[in-house]
């Protein structure tokens, strides 16, 4: 066990730096004004009250790996330039924070499990990938529970297929917050039709679920993707809430909110946003997914095409107001019950509501 240890590295150059511990308690690692090829910090056993700080460092690759539980770990990378990769893995992370601030990187990856009282925050960074064989510039593989994930005032730019990709579940109490970011992929999509992401270029891609009590908040993002049949945002909300509020701008690419499993109490709110392509909120008709107690609200925005589709629905509300579009369609391919549709103060070319099966207690209105 390393207790009350300090490791300080300053104003130096090294090819490789390895800082390893089994167990640690009240340990400080401070690296500043340092140049290296690779720098790694690893712990193979539980750690508590560990502080990691890297300031004004320059290198190719930086790796922080905590194989076991990490309690009250405070770590930061500030004013640095990591040309190839920043890779952080923290397991059983509680009561701590990890921060990337004013740092440039070729790629960023995150893995492990963030639990109660922990956070991962990125602010004023540039993640710019120019290596075409790397598919994702910013990769999140971490689970989040009762914790915060936040990216602010950051550029994520790639010629790979995904700018931002999250492929693990977001559980109750977790908040993912994306604010004031510029997201771009110049990758040319290889699909010509359809909705599966497969070979589609995607700006923000959430491949797994937001469960009940989990929230995705987005505001003031600008998203640009490579070509037609690309997605600015692709998300599977399940039972979570998607709050898309505050002048998000999609210069290209669709928004696709896709329910692929039975879900309840899901919210998708779109407000003050500009989409030059389409917005789709849909349930997977092939598996007769049931949407229960869902709310879809779209306000004060502009979109080329709006598609709201469901297989089965029960107690679902769709509310569109102060919205401009070319076409807006609401469709249901299976029986629905207690569905409310409201369109107020909307302007467009074509509006279509199509219910292919029975509709019980459907209340719908188009006003002003």
What pLDDT is stored for residue 258 in this prediction? 80
Residue 335 pLDDT level (bands cut at 50, 70, 90): confident
Please compute, for residue 55, the number of CA atoms within 13 A of its CA located in the half-sphere on the CB side.
7
What pLDDT is stored for residue 367 in this prediction? 95
Higher pLDDT, 175 or 291: 175
The count of other CB atoms within 10 Å of the CB of residue 116 is 12
Lowest-confidence region among 28-32, 164-168, 310-314, 335-339: 310-314
Evaluate if residue 345 carries a pLDDT over 60.
yes
Tokens of 125: 């960074």
Mean pLDDT of the region 328-337: 86
In angstroms, the Cα distances linking 167 to 34, 114, 131, 203, 205 are 33, 14, 21, 14, 8
What pLDDT is stored for residue 113 in this prediction? 94
Evaluate if residue 26 carries a pLDDT over 60.
yes
Residue 23 pLDDT level (bands cut at 50, 70, 90): confident
In angstroms, the Cα distances linking 81 to 78, 125, 145, 292 are 9, 10, 30, 47
Average pLDDT, the chain: 88
Higher pLDDT, 247 or 297: 297
Please indicate, yes or no, whether the overall pTM of this predicted structure exceeds 0.95: no
Higher pLDDT, 77 or 286: 77
Mean pLDDT of the region 258-277: 81
What pLDDT is stored for residue 193 in this prediction? 52
Residue pointed to by tokens 């931002």: 164
Gap between the Cα atoms of 215 and 114, Å rounded: 15
Gap between the Cα atoms of 353 and 304, Å rounded: 17
* CA-based radius of gyration for the chain: 22
The count of other CB atoms within 10 Å of the CB of residue 359 is 16
DSSP 8-state symbol, 145: S
Residue pointed to by tokens 């928004």: 255
Mean pLDDT of the region 327-331: 91
DSSP 8-state symbol, 115: -
What pLDDT is stored for residue 217 in this prediction? 92
Mean pLDDT of the region 339-367: 91
What pLDDT is stored for residue 239 in this prediction? 79
Evaluate if residue 45 carries a pLDDT over 80.
yes
Higher pLDDT, 258 or 284: 258
Gap between the Cα atoms of 324 and 346, Å rounded: 6
Residue 57 pLDDT level (bands cut at 50, 70, 90): very high
Please compute, for residue 133, the number of CA atoms within 13 A of its CA located in the half-sphere on the CB side.
1
Tokens of 164: 């931002």
What pLDDT is stored for residue 331 in this prediction? 87
What pLDDT is stored for residue 194 in this prediction? 52
Mean pLDDT of the region 77-94: 95
């Amino acid at each position: 066990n390393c207790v009350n240890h300090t490791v300080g590295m300053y104003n130096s150059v090294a090819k490789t730096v390895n800082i390893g511990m089994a167990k640690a308690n009240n340990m400080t690692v401070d690296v500043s004004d340092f140049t290296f090829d690779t720098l790694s910090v690893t712990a193979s056993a539980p750690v508590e009250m560990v502080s990691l700080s890297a300031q004004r460092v320059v290198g190719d690759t930086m790796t922080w790996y905590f194989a076991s539980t990490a309690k009250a770990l405070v770590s930061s990378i500030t004013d640095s330039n990591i040309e190839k990769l920043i890779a952080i893995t923290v397991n059983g992370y509680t009561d701590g924070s990890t921060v990337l601030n004013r740092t440039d990187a070729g790629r960023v990856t995150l893995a492990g499990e963030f639990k109660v009282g922990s956070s991962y925050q990125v602010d004023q960074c540039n993640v710019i990938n120019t290596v075409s064989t790397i598919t994702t510039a910013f990769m999140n593989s971490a689970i989040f529970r009762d914790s915060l994930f936040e990216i602010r005032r950051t550029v994520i730019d790639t010629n790979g297929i995904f700018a931002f990709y999250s492929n693990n579940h977001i559980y109750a109490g977790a908040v993912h917050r994306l604010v004031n970011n510029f997201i771009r992929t110049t990758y040319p999509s290889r699909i010509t039709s359809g909705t599966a992401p497969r070979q589609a270029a995607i700006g923000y891609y959430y491949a797994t679920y937001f469960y009940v009590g989990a929230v995705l908040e987005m505001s003031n993002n600008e998203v640009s993707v490579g070509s037609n049949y690309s997605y600015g945002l692709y998300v599977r909300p399940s039972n979570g809430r998607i709050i898309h509020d505050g002048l998000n701008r999609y210069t290209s690419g669709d928004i696709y909110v896709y329910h692929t499993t039975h879900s309840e109490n899901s919210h998708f709110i779109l407000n003050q946003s500009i989409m030059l392509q389409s917005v789709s909120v849909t349930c997977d008709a092939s598996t007769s997914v049931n949407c229960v107690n869902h709310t879809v609200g779209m306000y004060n925005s502009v979109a080329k095409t709006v598609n709201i589709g469901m297989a089965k629905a029960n107690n679902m509300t769709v509310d569109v107001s102060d919205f401009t579009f070319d076409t807006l369609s609401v469709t249901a391919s299976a029986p629905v019950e207690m569905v409310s549709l409201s369109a107020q103060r909307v302007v467009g070319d074509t509006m279509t509501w199509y219910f292919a099966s029975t509709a019980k207690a459907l209340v719908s209105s188009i006003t002003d």
